[in-house]
Amino acid sequence: MATAMLKPLSRLLTSRGALRHIAAQMWDPRWLTRNLSRLVQAKHADLLLDDFLRQFETKVPYDRWIAVHERLDAASLKAMRANVDTFRRRPRFSIVVPTYETAPEVLTPFLDSVLAQVYPDWELCIADDASRQPHVRATLERYAANDPRIKVTVRTTNGHIAEATNTALEMASGDFICLMDHDDTIAPNALYEFALALDADPDLDFIYSDEDKITADGQTRYEPFFKPDWSPEYLESCMYTAHFACYRTSIVRRVGGFRKEFNGAQDYDFVLRFVEHIGKAAHIPKILYHWRAIPGSTAASMDNKDYVIDAAVRALTEHIERTGRLAFVRPNRYGGCFDVRRQVEGEPKVSIVIPSAGRPSEIRGEMVDLVVNCVRSIAQTSSYRNLELIVVHNGDLRPETVEALDAYGVVYVHYTDPVFNIAAKMNLGAQAATGDYVLFLNDDTEVINPDWLEAMLSLAQRPGVGVVGAKLYFEDGTLQHVGVTFCAGLPDHIRRGFSGDDPGYFFSTVGQRNYMAVTGACMLLRRALFEEVGGFEEALAINYNDIDLCLKVWDRGLRIVYTAQAELFHFESRNRERSVAAHEQAIFLERWGERVSTDPFYSPYFAARPPNFELILC
């Protein structure tokens, strides 16, 4: 290698700490062979080196992660206090808390965590719900006497959590409302992070943070929840925003606080009503809330309480009815996660474009004509009937294949270019489409559930949604696709090869959720939108053309949605080595590398090779 090439490579390796990996001989020679020549190109060297180094991520226990990443020492907190003086805006936060028979060993830490806030412009509004234990009132009165920001009222009758929270809300005078439970704690920088976000963008109506759980004795933190950025479809699958969050007070007043008939899921009902009125939401990717798991607490037992599930179903039902026409809301078999669907509006025509080479393959021990099997599964399984089936072929379909496809009224499109280009084939198929929506589908797929198209259409019709992707399984029932994430500008499938029963990270595989991209093996969008963004990029002849399409849609401010309610087999070889041509990777990085160097829906604290939501040090 020339000396001129070694210098930039050496600089990058040294500055990024890669030498320790080289010394330990942990590299993958195949990766170096594919990428060494591009590593030395200044334009993409940082991205590719990040991709290289992420292969050596070491999975760590949570306590180790805390020690490395949470630097909340005296000096850091002092710097935050000083920085508050530079804020152009100083919103007041009203922390609203109902208490009831709170044990002293958790009541005091809760109060102390609020007093420890480095951001000073807050008030703590506490409504005690007629506790009989004298220490509760005595403790609250003592704290209130020592700090005028603490307001306490004592209810004479027990009204349960919704009514007690509303009583506390009546005392709130802040610009934003924050909700806490009486046995939990917040990090000392919690309100500071909210204020910092609002100083940068005063139009935010809703802010939420990451959270974890803490044992009853307060000694051990566990089960961190590193959340995605604002994900409206995910919120309809589970109450993911939870703690710690702040809500613009004017909107809280508009929606009317909490409703007692939803006790058990009163927070979920409140948030669903609240977000119907917001303009902008933000996620603080930091652990700011510690949810104490004690006997009887929601953190410890919510999944086992039928009344919680029932209240959540009713809250979701009303939310869907306010924002569309309800098809159904039901709890799925993973406690705390829900299947939600709106009615499909009208009966729009769906053009299903299937590029095919007309090849046979072995499935379940038998040789099968892939495209015939795919089309047959659509025609015989699907309950949605307003379909157009378009097969894009190379002109070499076997007579028996044509005969079988003719039975299903297939439209044939002949791709004549001798050079293989899957993007061009799909574009050609889309040009022949006459439907309102176009669904791109690999020929090595097979429909599982009859209402798969209704599930995808109901989402694609939602305002703000651009592309919808499905849940795909390998032949052996393991996961092939449940969403796509990015690392160092390059995409990969999440939890690929996990059990088909895997619920994912906080229901990531079994509900619906937003990502930046989904696979083109089964992808639905409006035909007009497809045309507006220019279709598939034909320079990406084999790889990344589907991801590029999603990113063009996402770049327009539209959401990409994965749904587990559309299930198909994808008979792609699980053991096939996945590789991408160097020139296609270069084209993709040139266009998107910097934009997707981080993924708003997948924490940088998770391993990216493979992307399985496993905590690492980085």
| Alpha-carbon gap, residue 191 to 244, rounded angstroms | 10
Q: What is the pLDDT of residues 200-224, one digit of tens each?
A: 999 999 999 999 999 998 899 999 9
Q: Does the pLDDT value for residue 478 go beyond 80? A: yes
Q: Does the pLDDT value for residue 186 go beyond 60? A: yes
Task: Identify the residue with better confidence: 581 or 48.
Answer: 581
For the chain, helix (H) and strand (E) counts, in that order, are 22, 25
Q: Does the pLDDT value for residue 243 go beyond 60? A: yes
Percent of the chain with pLDDT over 70: 88
pLDDT at 37: 47
pLDDT at 35: 53
Q: Does the pLDDT value for residue 382 go beyond 50? A: yes
Question: What would the mean pLDDT of 150-176 be, rounded to a whole number?
Answer: 95
In the structure, what pLDDT confidence band is assigned to residue 303 with cuts at 50, 70 and 90? very low
In the structure, what pLDDT confidence band is assigned to residue 600 with cuts at 50, 70 and 90? very high
Q: Does the pLDDT value for residue 11 go beyond 50? A: no
Q: Does the pLDDT value for residue 352 go beyond 60? A: yes
List % helix, strand, coil for the chain (3-state, nearest 5). Answer: 35, 25, 40
Question: What would the mean pLDDT of 46-56 be, rounded to a whole number?
Answer: 56
Instruction: Name the helix (H) or strand (E) containing 556.
Output: none
Q: Nearest to residue 48, comparing CAs of 97, 12, 3?
A: 12
Q: What is the pLDDT of residues 330-339, one digit of tens each?
A: 999 998 999 9
In the structure, what pLDDT confidence band is assigned to residue 33 with cuts at 50, 70 and 90? very low
Question: What would the mean pLDDT of 181-204 be, rounded to a whole number?
Answer: 97
Q: Nearest to residue 83, comparing CAs of 108, 51, 118, 33?
A: 118
In the structure, what pLDDT confidence band is assigned to residue 47 with cuts at 50, 70 and 90? low
96's tokens: 């609203």
Buried/exposed 141-155: b ≥16 CB within 10 Å, e otherwise: eebbeeeebbbbebb
Q: Does the pLDDT value for residue 304 go beyond 50? A: no
**What are the two backbone dihedrals, phi and then psi, of residue 519, each rounded to the nearest 5 degrees?**
-75, 145
Q: Does the pLDDT value for residue 4 go beyond 80? A: no
Q: Does the pLDDT value for residue 51 go beyond 60? A: no
Q: Does the pLDDT value for residue 27 go beyond 60? A: no
In the structure, what pLDDT confidence band is assigned to residue 359 with cuts at 50, 70 and 90? confident
CB 479 within 8 A of CB 500: yes
pLDDT at 6: 36
What dihedral do alpha carbons 562, 568, 571, 572 form, nearest 10°?
A: -10
CB 315 within 8 A of CB 272: yes
Question: What would the mean pLDDT of 55-71 be, rounded to a whole number?
Answer: 81
Q: What is the pLDDT of residues 547-598, one digit of tens each?
A: 999 999 999 999 999 999 999 999 986 555 567 888 999 999 999 999 998 9
Question: What would the mean pLDDT of 232-236 be, rounded to a whole number?
Answer: 98
Buried/exposed 20-58: b ≥16 CB within 10 Å, e otherwise: ebeeeeeeeeeeeebbeebbbeeebbbbbbbbbbbbebe
The amino acid that residue 203 corresponds to is: D
pLDDT at 617: 76
207's tokens: 């802010």
Q: Nearest to residue 462, comparing CAs of 427, 514, 516, 530?
A: 514
Q: Does the pLDDT value for residue 26 go beyond 80? A: no
Q: What is the pLDDT of residues 503-550, one digit of tens each?
A: 999 999 999 999 999 999 999 999 999 999 999 999 999 999 999 999
DSSP class per residue in 367-416 = EEEHHHHHHHHHHHH-S---EEEEEEE-S---HHHHHHHHTTTPEEEE--
Q: What is the pLDDT of residues 103-147, one digit of tens each?
A: 999 999 999 999 999 999 999 999 999 999 999 999 999 999 999
Q: Does the pLDDT value for residue 12 go beyond 50? A: no
CB 374 within 8 A of CB 445: yes
pLDDT at 57: 59
N-to-C CA span, the chain? 30
Q: Nearest to residue 340, comparing CAs of 324, 356, 358, 362?
A: 324
